[in-house]
Amino acid sequence: MSTETLSPDARPVAGERRAPRRTPEPIPFGRVLLVELQKMFDTRAGFWLMASIVIASVIATVVTVLLGDRDSLSFDSFAAAVGSPMSIVLPVIGVLAVTSEWSQRTALTTFTLVPSRPRVIGAKVVDVLAIGVVSMLLALGIGALGNVVTSLVTGNEAIWDISAASFAKIVLANELGMLLGLALGLLFRSSPAAVVGYFVVNFVLPGVSGALASSQQWWADHAGWFDLNQTRFLLFDSALTGEQWTQLGVTTLLWIVVPFLVGLRLVLRTEVK
């Protein structure tokens, strides 16, 4: 047992002011971004969901080459074929980016290590949007490869009929879908409930809206101000008018911004167990 004692100079002196404890610096936002991005790949479900982006793009391209009319295939044909599975897979990524914290029971650890919950949610939003852009660029590259292969097989000149503006609108449409999934994830904080909610909004409500439009002239004339899908889907294959862009903004506010803010408030105020 040590018998060392403090020297008189090392002992605290009555009335002496101690140096204030140094406050640790906050975790850099860039590190939070990387950690949240890594968490989206850590689980098997997350890994295969990300891998399904590549797998679905390759399958859609191969099927288009094998079954499509090769003499009339163009870059737009491959973009449409690849875009269909992307519009389903990408929003689910937005949902799981939030709900996995509760389903995997990591929310307590996450919000303890980074007490500022808005920073964590902000990192998730940035990561989701970045994954959406990278996924669409990857899908575009696979579609372009399919277009080149078709040109080599048929001997026809490849048709590149998608402009940068058209591609930007397709990316915007998919990003809105991912943000809708993320907003529902914040609102429900349950993967099954948020996924079901997303499919209801995207596949059930359009049918209800169509039925109302066929029976009510008022709804047929004004559905664009309330139905997010009616205006969002125009981004895939149409040039929007000024009124349609305004309708897109209004429906985005109703179906994405408001649920996101309500869900964010619940996350900020709810006790994590």
Query: Which pLDDT score, from 0 to 100, does residue 123 have?
Result: 94
Q: Which residue has the higher pLDDT, 3 or 164?
A: 164
By C-alpha distance, which of 58, 61, 83, 64 is closest to 237?
83
Over the stretch 35-82, which tens digit does the pLDDT of each residue have? 999 988 887 877 888 888 888 888 888 888 888 777 778 888 888 888
Euclidean distance between CA atoms 143 and 3, whole angstroms: 77
- Which amino acid, residue 114? V
The answer on pLDDT for 152 being more than 60 is yes
The answer on pLDDT for 270 being more than 90 is no
Highest mean pLDDT among 23-32, 109-118, 184-193: 184-193
pLDDT, mean of residues 188-202? 91
What angle (nearest 5°) sits at the alpha carbon of residue 102, between those of residues 190 and 40?
95
Query: Which pLDDT score, from 0 to 100, does residue 17 have?
Result: 65
Per-residue pLDDT band at 238 (split at 50, 70, 90): low
Query: Which pLDDT score, from 0 to 100, does residue 1 have?
Result: 46
Residue found under tokens 């803010």? 261
Cα→Cα distances 43→76, 104, 122, 177, 206, Å:
34, 9, 21, 23, 33
pLDDT, mean of residues 116-127? 93
Contact predicate 175/129, CB 8 Å:
yes
Contact predicate 93/50, CB 8 Å:
yes
pLDDT, mean of residues 99-116? 86
Query: Which pLDDT score, from 0 to 100, does residue 195 have?
Result: 92
The answer on pLDDT for 28 being more than 50 is yes
> What percentage of residues in the chain have a pLDDT greater than 90?
29
The answer on pLDDT for 3 being more than 60 is no
Euclidean distance between CA atoms 260 and 253, whole angstroms: 10
The answer on pLDDT for 24 being more than 70 is no
Query: Which pLDDT score, from 0 to 100, does residue 149 have?
Result: 86
pLDDT, mean of residues 248-256? 94
Task: For the chain, give the mean pLDDT.
Answer: 85
Buried b / exposed e along 37-47 (16+ C-beta atoms within 10 A): bebbeeeeebe
